[in-house]
Structure 1
């Protein structure tokens, strides 16, 4: 399917690996010029070279922490007026809510709520003026279904979801859509880190832990960055202009709800 976005400019935050990389690959495949971002320059450059080798698009790599004012300035200097913005950022580490202090809570909210809102503020006026814009926020299934130890991440992402629910309706008539993708158990470094903790706590092997967790998912497998990226690319396409303010679960059926 031709997504109709060839030649569009896309910023994809935290895209050197994992789900962000999956989104960058899919958008590049659709013909978008992509601006990549990450804090590890080596990983970022490797991803940039991989995309350049596969697709005939312009790839710009910006090594910066997108949660800082300086990092955002560098990113927007590389692409002042993007047509597409994919908000993504690492969440705070798994931690019991009772041990969180004010500093940790403020940092988590900055990472997963304030930062994406600031980037939306920076790019949305131009999107509205030109009559086209696509904003996709990578949040988490935990916005819908609590996950022990991820209370801070879940709370901040839920705040982002509620904040942008109203904004998405304000700009829908100007050709700009804002949607969220809620990943479940995706086969990424973050999930594998959880497996390692489970191995330590249970005494089971890595294969046993993986098999047990996959068995809990109706699809009987973990998701992957490639299919996640394709979903993101579709939401950014000309075919998704009537989809806005939505939370799209990619969880293999793990969330046990009808709505």
Structure 2
């Protein structure tokens, strides 16, 4: 299927590795030019080189922390009029909620609530004026299925979800959509960090815990980042203009709900 995206421009936040990288790769496969972002220059450059070599699209690298005003300014300077924005950012590390002081709480809310909203504010009116825009927020299954230790991340992302539920409907008539993808357990650095925390708390080895969590997933495996990227690319496509304000759960059936 041709997604109708060839020649468009996308900003993909936190895209040097993990799910953000997978989204960037999938968009590049569809002919989308990219601004990619990360905090490690070497990792970001390696990702950019692979995308250019594989897909032949334009790739602009922005080394920055997207949570900071300086980082956001750099992203927008590299692409003032994006057609696509993929919001992604690392969440707070796994931690017992009793250990969260005010500074940690505010940092978590900034990372996973304030930052994506600021970027949406910066690009949405331009998208509406041009008659095309796709905004995808990478959040987490923990919005629906709480995970001990990720309470701050879950709370901030749930707030973002509720906030954008109304916003998305105010711009749908201009062919601008806002959706979120809620990943379950994917084979990324983030899940390995979370697994170490959970294994230690449960008094298990990491290997035993990994086997246990795979067994709890109806698909009996972790998700593959490329699967996530393809789903993101479809939500960004010209064919997805009738999908907005939705939360797409990608979890191998882990979340037990009929609706």
Please give the TM-score of this superposition, normalised by the length of structure 1: 0.97
CA distance in structure 2 between the aligned counterparts of 1:108 and 1:209, rounded to whole angstroms: 27
Runs of 4+ in 1 over 6 A off after TM superposition: none
State whether structure 2 residue 107 is matched by structure 1 residue 107: yes
For 1:51-62, list aligned pairs within 5 A.
Answer: 51-62=51-62
Count of aligned residue pairs for this structure pair: 259
SS of 1:249's partner is strand
For 1:157-176, list aligned pairs within 5 A.
Answer: 157-176=157-176
Aligned-residue Cα RMSD (Å) equals: 1.1
Deviation at 1:212, TM superposition (A): 1.2
> Partner residue of 1:90?
90
For 1:105-184, list aligned pairs within 5 A.
Answer: 105-184=105-184
Alignment CA distance shift 1:185-1:204 (3 Å): same
Deviation at 1:197, TM superposition (A): 3.4
- Structure 1 unmatched ranges of 5 or more: none
Q: 1:43-88 CA deviation, whole Å, 9 max, x = no partner? A: 1001000101100200111000000000000010000000000000
Contact preservation (8 Å) 2:91, 2:111: yes
Deviation at 1:90, TM superposition (A): 0.3
> Partner residue of 1:15?
15
CA distance in structure 2 between the aligned counterparts of 1:204 and 1:118, rounded to whole angstroms: 41
Please give the TM-score of this superposition, normalised by the length of structure 2: 0.97
CA distance in structure 1 between the aligned counterparts of 2:43 and 2:65, rounded to whole angstroms: 14
Deviation at 1:207, TM superposition (A): 3.3
- Structure 2 unmatched ranges of 5 or more: none
